[in-house]
Amino acid sequence: MSGSAITPWVVGNWKMNPMQADAQKLIQELKQRLADQHISKERCRIGIAPISIALLSVQQQLADASVEVMTVAQDVSRIAGTGAYTGEVSANLLKDSQIDYVLIGHSERREIFADNAQVVAEKVKNALAAGLHIIYCVGESLEQREKGQAEVVVLQQICDIAAVVNADQWHNITVAYEPIWAIGTGKTASPEDAQNMHAKIREGLSQITPAGARMAILYGGSVKPENAVELAACPDINGALVGGASLNAESFYQIAHAFAQTK
């Protein structure tokens, strides 16, 4: 199967935003936009990753949307189950609250909160065991890219989790390639560079698992309506993980629409 036959995903990562009233407004606007101009989930799967304390209220507000919008946790504890771990939320507790999707390995977690390869692998292992679907983020820094190490770094990040993923669990993983230098900077990887890396990621995944040919590989890094169509046209770019532009309902909708139309 070619990468372009895969249903695209467009997921908004709200990061540590917004205030409650703005979040409610944003969801209302998005629901209205989806009601006005429907995007079927066969053409594009849409998700939103709010702050952890808003997961349940966002999920509730999205319940009557005209199309399913996935509620995605931005992170998960590396500890499984329940117990004396102040401040942590385990994969089991997410699942218990019907939160079925989680981001793991976002570069902000890796860089600011010391989520190293071992921590990320523990999170992946526990999330899969709890039955969550993971959006696994990978990406190189500007320094690594300039040294010609981008591919090695990204493929290593895939290998970092390979040992904890069982053969039958790969279909529960979506990969998001997010070059760190493109996140929140307004700089986007060129469609050619992004496509090249996505093709390498698919090749790497396919060497590990037959599911690699069918896994969605999202691009993240300053995606906006203005560049979404070009990115969506690349065969191995199967959607987007969207930060800044997901805080505006119209922009986020337009990105999802671009992927739904182009794929």
Tokens in use for 236? 């191995």
- The verdict on 242 binding ligand PEP (CB under 6 A) reads yes
CB of 166 to ligand PEP, least distance (A): 27
- The verdict on 75 binding ligand PEP (CB under 6 A) reads no
- The verdict on 241 binding ligand PEP (CB under 6 A) reads yes
Residues 6+ apart with CB under 8 A from 258: 225, 228, 229, 232
Is residue 172 a known part of a binding site?
no
The candidate with the shortest Cα–Cα distance to 238, out of 224, 219, 256, 251, is: 219
Is-catalytic flag, 171? no
Residue 4-23 contact track with ligand PEP, rule CB under 6 A, x = bound = ---------x----------
- The verdict on 244 binding ligand PEP (CB under 6 A) reads yes
The candidate with the shortest Cα–Cα distance to 260, out of 19, 8, 81, 20, is: 8
Alpha-carbon distances, residue 9 vs 6, 69, 122, 181 (angstroms): 9, 11, 25, 22
CA separation for the pair 147, 150 (Å, rounded): 8
Catalytic residue among 106, 140, 198, 257: 106
CA separation for the pair 195, 189 (Å, rounded): 9
Size of the site for ligand PEP (CB under 6 A): 13
Using CB under 6 A, pick the residue from 120, 183, 205, 258 that binds ligand PEP.
183
CB of 221 to ligand PEP, least distance (A): 5
CB of 66 to ligand PEP, least distance (A): 25
Binding positions for ligand PEP, 200-229, rule CB under 6 A: 220-223
Is residue 243 a known part of a binding site?
yes
CB of 168 to ligand PEP, least distance (A): 28
Catalytic residue among 122, 178, 198, 257: 178
Is-catalytic flag, 178? yes
Is residue 184 a known part of a binding site?
yes
Residue positions forming the annotated binding site: 13-15, 184, 222, 243-244
Q: Which residues are catalytic?
A: 106, 178
For the annotated binding site for substrate, the residues are 13-15, 184, 222, 243-244
**Interacting residues with ligand PEP (CB under 6 A):** 13, 178, 183-184, 220-223, 241-245
